[in-house]
Amino acid sequence: MKEFKLFINNKEMTAEADPDTPLLWVLRDHLNLVGTKFGCGVAQCGACTVHINGKAVRSCLYPVSAVGTNKVVTIEGLSVNGDHPLQQAWEELDVAQCGYCQSGQIMAAAALLKRNPKPTDADIDAAMTNICRCGTHVRIRKAIHVAAKKGGAAK
C-alpha cells in the first residue's frame, strides 16, 4: 500500500492503494467518485473514460501510480453545474436508455470537442469508439453535433 496524492476535478485528494490499482477503482472504491463506470476492465468499452491532462483515457487499465501530478477530470468534474454543452445536448436529446455508459461517452466526446470543436461525422466515427449496449449511437452522434454548434469546446 502506498499513499497517492492526486489532482482530481481541481481538488487535491489522497488515496492509499496498491500501486497497480487501476485509477478506475481508486476513483470508485477509495474516493467514492462512482460516476466513472466499470464495463470490461480491458479498455475496450470506454465506460471508464476520464480525462488526464485533457485527453480521454480509459481508467480501467491505467495504474494509479502512473497518474503522478497529471490533472484528472471525471464526469463529476466536467462542469460545475452539470451544464457542459455536451451535458446540455445529452439532456435535450434524451440520449440515454439505461444510462450506464453515458458518462464515459460524454467524457470521450468532451475530449474530442476539445481538440476538434467542429467534428464531422467521420471524425465522430473515428473518435467515439465506446460501446453503448442499448444502441443510442444515433442520438449520441446528434448530441455531439448539437453541442459543437453551441460551442462545445469553450469549456
> Site residues (CB under 8 A) for other proteins?
1, 17-18, 21-22, 25, 28-30, 32-42, 44-45, 47, 74-76, 78, 82, 87, 90-91, 94, 96-103, 106, 121, 124-126, 128-141
Compare residues 43 and 153 and give the one whose CB is closer to other proteins.
43
Distance CA 8, CA 63 (A): 15
* Residue (118 or 133) nearer to other proteins, CB: 133
Nearest Cα neighbor of 123 from 104, 103, 108 is 108
5, 46, 78, 118 from 97: Cα distances, Å: 36, 17, 21, 26
Cβ atoms of 117 and 129 within 8 Å: the answer is: no
- For residue 25, the minimal CB distance to other proteins (Å) is 4
Could you tell me the smallest distance in angstroms from the CB atom of residue 76 to other proteins?
Answer: 5
Beta 55-58 vs 49-52: how paired, if at all? antiparallel
Q: Closer to other proteins by CB, 63 or 114: give it.
A: 63
As measured in angstroms, the least distance from the Cβ of 122 to other proteins is 9
Give one DSSP letter per residue of 58-102, joined into a string. EGGGSBGGGTTT-EEE-GGGS-SSS--HHHHHHHHTT--SS-TTH
- Between 7 and 77, name the residue whose CB sits nearer to other proteins: 77
Distance in Å, CB of 104 to other proteins, minimum: 9
